[in-house]
A and B are shown apart, each in its own frame.
Chain A
Amino acid sequence: MNPQAEAGAIKDAKERYRAGVLKYRQMGYWDADYQPADTDVVCLFRITPQDGVDPIEAAAAVAGESSTATWTVVWTDRLTACDRYRAKAYHVEPVPGRPGQFFAWVAYDLVLFEEGSIANMTASLIGNVFSFKPLAACRLEDIRIPVAYVKTFKGPPTGLIVERERLDKFGRPLLGATTKPKLGLSGRNYGRVIYEGLKGGLDFMKDDENINSQPFMHWRDRFLYVMDGVNKAAAATGEVKGSYLNVTGATMEDIYERAEFAKELGSVIVMIDLIVGWSAIQSLSNWARRNDMILHMHRAGHGTYTRQRNHGVSFRVIAKWLRLAGVDHLHAGTAVGKLEGDPMTVQGYYNVCRDAYTKRDLPRGLFFDQDWADLKKVMPVASGGIHAGQMHQLVELFGDDVVLQFGGGTIGHPAGIQAGAVANRVALEAMIKARNEGRDLQHEGPALLQQAARFCTPLKQALDTWKDVTFDYTSTDTSDYAVTPAVA
């Protein structure tokens, strides 16, 4: 019996609705016996109550503030079937190894949500509660979205299976590169980088998140030169090629105008930045579905709220929302590159993107089973400080369904951009071939790369240039879990 249970909801209505202030758990936002329904949204919050605040009361407050509660009793609750509208915190436990932090499970009835709207879901779940004074910090760690709710979202406009069919590329990761320098190139110079990278063997080139329409390069100029590079490279290689044209703009009208022009020029893919917001993302997703366009999502800005494990929203939750909102590509980390990401945690994000059914997997930070109800799959993108010498690790970590993006690792090659692209493509094909032949990439990878470099000078140059480059820092966001001994 939970010792706090007697301090639970007040059952007597007259007592319950007497004007004044009650504890959240007295108001009905805590129910230790609650069994979440299959149709409930279930959230796992990591809360850090202020000194002296009881964790159960803090959990009840999270449930209250993310559903119907306000700071005082209101009689107008009695005009509603109010118990149904109250989220219910039903379980609290200390975070292993993190004194003062608690995991709190909160369930929300389906009635609380508008169908097909991430804006609505987020306005509830992360609307006010993260600023709530009794909590020193709060983080949404994971979420279980019921199938009934999943089915109200259209999901990725293309999905990774159809993307491969359209591009005619199977059985290996796709290769990309972000054009560098990020800023300052004219349209004409920019298109040169696109052409060289694609002709050298990459599948995609990419605009960076902050390439929009600055004084040095108007967006139309960029689109025109980029598409010349894309088409020239397709003819030079006999392969379908693409370049993510970033259509991010100040207004939805700007975004649509840019997307329409990309379509008119025959681009297979457009790109949007996460900072445009949920409604703009869902709008562009609908546009992409109408226009046979692959939609690339750059998660620009996410680190401001995903990185610190005591406060914010975990990226696994953002990834789930983005799969529902409907993007085809999503930057989900590299584990070995320059940006934050513990390998297991990053694999958890990849699972969220690609699984038909995601299984609870605590080492990977996944707290819930999630049935994706046949929603299309998102192609994860690994980008940021990776190079050909890590190819065996990348293939081992992420498998085939991923876009590996080598920006500096292509454009910074000592013999030029085409050589950089060749090095990456040869390294990739050699690793896939060896893996399929049953070789152990983890141990034999470096030797296999050297072996491939014997017939490929650009690969040898790449391996020599970047052989010592690693980004070996401690991750700030790893999973906190305790290994529970199996019940004998």
Chain B
Amino acid sequence: MMTNPTGRITQGQFSFLPDLSDEEIRLQIDYGLSRGYAWSVEYTDDPHPRNTYWEMYGMPMFDLRDAAGVMNELRACRHTFPRHYIRLQAFDATSGIESIAMSFIVNRPAHEPGFMLERSEDVGRTLRYRVRGYAANRPEGERYAP
């Protein structure tokens, strides 16, 4: 159990709120679609804060204008990876932005063991730090027990 006030990984837009219901997720998807964003579903069992590239569950849905389609993809991803972290990301292709505009976690393992901070002493009083997931020792796909 992580000791931060939420007891879990706090990445994304809404980690400090109670888990969003499917209806609440749909409202967020609608907001993104109304602003012309393209949604995508990504999953991982390596939620290290510097792990930029979660696995893509299919391509970003550039031409999809209906929240139901995104929810279908999310449901399928949850079915395939029930114990992985899954996030929804909205991409804004507007000139000068061309980056992610929204990102929030919509699925988590039941138990989130969090990260170890390893320190090694260096010259002077300098410390070198390494953040390592407690679950990361096990192979991909087996990191979060049922």
Chain A contact residues, CB within 8 Å of chain B: 161, 164-165, 168, 170-172, 199-201, 224, 227-228, 231-232, 234-240, 264-266, 356, 374, 377, 418-419, 421-422, 425-426, 429-430, 432-433, 436-438, 452, 455-456, 458
Mask of B98-113 contacts with A, CB within 8 angstroms, 1/0: 1111111000000000
Give the residues in chain A near B9, CB-CB below 8 Å: 237-239
Q: Is the interface of B mostly helix, strand, loop or mixed?
A: loop
6 pairs from A and B in contact (CB 8 Å cutoff) = A231-B129, A235-B114, A240-B50, A264-B126, A433-B17, A436-B28
Query: Does B90 sit at the interface, judged by CB under 8 A?
Result: yes
Closest residue to B28 on the A side, CB-wise? A436
- Given the interface contacts A436-B28, A436-B31, does A237 sit within 8 Å of B2 by beta carbon? yes
Query: Does B76 sit at the interface, judged by CB under 8 A?
Result: no
Inter-chain contact B49/A418, CB cutoff 8 Å = no
Give the residues in chain B near A452, CB-CB below 8 Å: 17
Most buried by A among B9, B52, B102: B102
Inter-chain contact B103/A165, CB cutoff 8 Å = no
Give the residues in chain A near B95, CB-CB below 8 Å: 356
Cα A221 to Cα B123 in complex, Å, equals 14
Query: Does B64 sit at the interface, judged by CB under 8 A?
Result: no
Query: Does B62 sit at the interface, judged by CB under 8 A?
Result: no
Most buried by A among B10, B28, B47, B115: B10
Cα A429 to Cα B18 in complex, Å, equals 11
Q: Find A170's partner among B5, B48, B100, B114 (CB 8 Å cutoff).
A: B100
Most buried by A among B3, B11, B89: B11
Inter-chain contact A232/B96, CB cutoff 8 Å = no
Query: Does B93 sit at the interface, judged by CB under 8 A?
Result: no
Given A164-B100, A425-B16, A430-B17; 18 other pairs, CB 8 A cutoff? A161-B96, A165-B100, A168-B49, A170-B89, A170-B100, A171-B13, A171-B90, A171-B102, A200-B4, A228-B127, A231-B117, A238-B2, A356-B96, A426-B17, A429-B15, A433-B20, A436-B31, A438-B31
Cα A164 to Cα B129 in complex, Å, equals 22
Closest residue to B90 on the A side, CB-wise? A171
Q: Find A232's partner among B5, B14, B101, B117 (CB 8 Å cutoff).
A: B117
Cα A102 to Cα B25 in complex, Å, equals 55
Give the residues in chain B near A356, CB-CB below 8 Å: 95-96
Closest residue to A372 on the B side, CB-wise? B96
Q: Find B97's partner among A161, A240, A418 (CB 8 Å cutoff).
A: A161
Inter-chain contact A234/B131, CB cutoff 8 Å = yes
Inter-chain contact B5/A265, CB cutoff 8 Å = no
Inter-chain contact A161/B116, CB cutoff 8 Å = no
- Given the interface contacts A164-B99, A170-B100, A426-B17, does A235 sit within 8 Å of B27 by beta carbon? no
- Given the interface contacts A235-B115, A429-B13, does A436 sit within 8 Å of B2 by beta carbon? no
Nearest CB in chain A: distance from B43 CB, A: 16
Inter-chain contact B131/A235, CB cutoff 8 Å = yes
Cα A453 to Cα B26 in complex, Å, equals 24
Cα A236 to Cα B9 in complex, Å, equals 8
Inter-chain contact A201/B31, CB cutoff 8 Å = no
- Given the interface contacts A171-B104, A232-B117, A356-B96, does A237 sit within 8 Å of B4 by beta carbon? yes
Cα A437 to Cα B104 in complex, Å, equals 15
Q: Find A231's partner among B28, B98, B125, B131 (CB 8 Å cutoff).
A: B131
